[in-house]
Amino acid sequence: CRCPEECTNTLNLTGIPFMNSHLKIERTAQFEGPKTGVMNWSQLSKLTQERKAKGELDGGGAISDALVLAQAPSSALALSLESNNVDPATKTARDLFVGNMPQGVTGEQLKEFLSKVMEEVGLVQGEGNPILQVRVNAKFSFVEMRSIEECANALNMDGIPFMGNELKIKRPEKYTGPVTQFLVWREFLAARQAMEKSKSPVLRLGNLIEADELTDDVSYQAVVDDITEECGQYGEIVSVEVPRSDEGMGFAFINYKDKNIAEKALDELMCRTFSGLDLEVIYYDYTKFSLSQFVGGEQ
């Protein structure tokens, strides 16, 4: 198998029918690790059908989801489905310490709360739960994230209120990686609110166009067409402006149908590079755009 977690999951397939036989799947004689609590295929199939009947599983992911449940609670790597591509070597960079825990809170309650907040405020980087597991102690817990980036993002929740307490979220003491810049929760919310107010259906793109591409009409139109096609992947575009005069020259201005489309495009385009340069993408003031004022409209 490609990772220890999936190897453990595969043990639950012992007894599965294959070509008129029932396969026996177990650890090799050389295995010296901890004993893993697993089900057999019959037990796993029964559990899957029960969860289907309760509406807890869809048809496509039933078996995979049930495999995770089949792992023993004592397993040190009891990861969820999203962990299939996680590198165990990065675990230290994906762990968070959560202190000042409310008395009696469970790991599942904390996991649900933090994951929901991260999704609502845009701290996740993909579909599904960004938290793999939560290990709860009396007054603190350790939260394992599915990615290094989402772990760094989660630091912005330091000080978030939860059941009457303000959680203390930080790196664990064993973390030796680079220092991560982040905001405490109240500062993060203020910055996010300011960003929400600055949103516009218009984006300004820089580090994209060379001056010699604007000299003749054929090259110019090719640039406009390319930009329109590329940026149109994210939603309906109302208009595209590529100034050829000193005002705004070298930039492209994309007017989307609404702010939501522009936000989606900004998130996608911020990760792009052109000719070895990072694409610069910002919201641009709609009023200035509509008046063809292409200078000084940064927000």
What's the pLDDT at 29? 77
CA angle 293, 298, 299 (to 5 degrees): 125
The predicted-structure confidence for 99-120, as pLDDT tens digits, reads as follows: 999 999 999 999 999 999 999 9
Tokens 């509509």 sit on residue: 290
Q: Note the helical H segments in the chain.
A: 4-10, 41-53, 62-69, 91-94, 107-120, 148-154, 185-198, 217-231, 259-269, 286-290
Q: What is the pLDDT of residue 84?
A: 44
End-to-end CA distance of the chain: 50
Closest alpha carbon to 141 in 91, 109, 101: 101
The pTM of this model reads 0.48
Model pLDDT for residues 205-253, shown as the tens digit of each residue: 988 888 788 888 999 999 999 999 999 999 999 999 999 877 788 899 9
pLDDT score at 54: 59
In this structure, are residues 213 and 220 in contact, taking their beta carbons and an 8 Å threshold?
Answer: yes
Per the CB < 8 A criterion, the answer to whether 266 and 275 are in contact is no
Q: Mean pLDDT of successive 10-residue segments in the chain (299 residues)?
A: 75 74 78 62 65 54 42 35 65 95 93 95 90 91 94 95 95 92 91 80 90 86 93 95 84 94 89 77 90 68
In this predicted structure, what is the pLDDT of residue 78?
38
What pLDDT does residue 27 have? 81
Q: What is the pLDDT of residue 52?
A: 59
Which of 279, 141, 265 shows the shortest CA–CA distance to 203? 265
